[in-house]
Amino acid sequence: MRSTGIILAAAGMALVSGTALAAWKGYPYKDLGFAVEFPDAPTTSTGMYHTVLVNSAPVHIYARKQDDATFVASVVDLQDRAGEGASLLIEAEFNLGLLGDVSATEISRVEPGKAAVFGHFVTVDCRNDKVPDQPGQTEAAHKWFKAITGVECPNKGRLTVNLLFNRGRLYLISGINDPNPDGGPALSPAALRFTNSVSLYQADGTRNRADGGG
């Protein structure tokens, strides 16, 4: 089952035209334990994850830009820190909050029943002048985000992230809306659709049938 986030996400998804929906398809990455939908084949790259709690960890990055939105799936390999998932997830959420103003934080869920994995669905209105609790935190957070996504959190843009930790991997499924040239809210139903499209493989290598797995 794909993730469930805020009600607004579902409403935004409904605004995407049938033609646009038809162009999207799933891209499974079984070796990394997840699948996600893109409107077209993503580019692939790697990066390094560095925070106060994590000295260094490899990141697999899958990204696609379309119209006024960018879609990025980042997977951090932290299998040697699998028992610290709760702290590592909250640290990532803290860093996201340094990128701008957090306008919503909700619980997300991927997969049904006993296979469910719970995380956080975070929406950030990006701005470069966020005042941190300690000097240098804002700059460090922007550097961290660029390293794990390959892109910036654009000033006056909107970032939505489905943040999950599962079996030693940290997943950041990010939809990034470009700033609205008219000065209004930076909204893109496609970005919300992307963040809700993630599904996870189970430990035995299968996925839920509803996700196209077996």
Are the beta carbons of 99 and 124 closer than 8 angstroms? yes
Confidence of residue 19 (pLDDT cuts 50, 70, 90): very low
Range of the domain at 74: 7-202
Q: What is the dihedral of CA 6, 9, 14, 15, to 10 degrees?
A: 140
Is residue 96 in a domain? yes
Residue found under tokens 């975070």: 122
Is residue 97 in a domain? yes
Residue found under tokens 């960890």: 57
53-66 burial string, b = 16+ CB within 10 Å, else e?
ebeebebbbbbbbb
Instruction: Name the residue among 92, 74, 96 with its Cα closest to residue 84.
Output: 92
Instruction: Name the residue among 166, 159, 164 with its Cα closest to residue 192.
Output: 159
Is residue 1 in a domain? no
Is residue 32 in a domain? yes
pLDDT(176) > 50: yes
Q: State residue 105's pLDDT score.
A: 92
Is residue 94 in a domain? yes
Catalogue the E-assigned strands of 93-190.
100-110, 117-126, 158-166, 169-177
Is residue 2 in a domain? no
Q: How many CA atoms lie within 13 A of 201 on its CB side?
A: 16
Tell me the CATH number at 145: 3.40.1000.10
Q: State residue 17's pLDDT score.
A: 43
Are the beta carbons of 127 and 153 closer than 8 angstroms? no
* Number of domains the chain is built from: 1
pLDDT(7) > 70: no
Is residue 153 in a domain? yes
Find the length of the chain. 214
Average pLDDT over residues 139-154: 93
Is residue 209 in a domain? no
Are the beta carbons of 36 and 61 closer than 8 angstroms? no
